[in-house]
């Protein structure tokens, strides 16, 4: 299993992506793995906040993937962190 952790969702406050970055960043202090935040961000200020925090932890933020690239990441990931709370349906979880 590849030691890859990803968060894949719309990069937005209601998806709690900043919280996901913090959780992954803290875990990076205790274990060695690669980490990616993947998704589109329509709120440019929030997206920039995510990118700034992620860069402090060495986490890459990817905002434009093809379907093939997305599926490759999902297949290679050892863990997928989904930070949304009380979401009635999440496509990222289903995928």
Describe the crossing of helices 17-28 and 44-57 by its angle, rounded to 10 degrees: 0
If one compares 55 and 2, the residue with the highest pLDDT of the two is 55
Are 58 and 24 spatial neighbours (Cβ–Cβ below 8 Å)? Answer: no
Assess whether pLDDT exceeds 70 at residue 94. no
Residue range 7-43, pLDDT digits in tens = 998 999 999 999 999 999 999 888 889 999 999 999 9
Residue range 60-69, pLDDT digits in tens = 999 999 999 9
Cα torsion angle, 5, 52, 18, 29, sign: positive
Concatenated DSSP letters of 28-59: HTTS--EEEEE---SSHHHHHHHHHHHHHHT-
Q: What is the DSSP letter of 13?
A: G
């Amino acid at each position: 299993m590849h030691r890859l952790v990803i968060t894949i969702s719309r990069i937005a406050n209601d998806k709690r992506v900043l919280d996901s970055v913090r959780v992954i960043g803290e875990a990076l202090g205790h274990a060695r793995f690669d980490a990616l935040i993947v998704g589109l961000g329509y709120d440019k200020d929030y997206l920039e906040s995510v990118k700034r925090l992620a860069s402090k932890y060495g986490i890459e933020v990817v905002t434009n993937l093809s379907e093939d690239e997305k599926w490759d990441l999902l297949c290679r990931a050892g863990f997928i962190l989904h930070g949304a709370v009380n979401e009635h349906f999440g496509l990222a979880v289903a995928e």
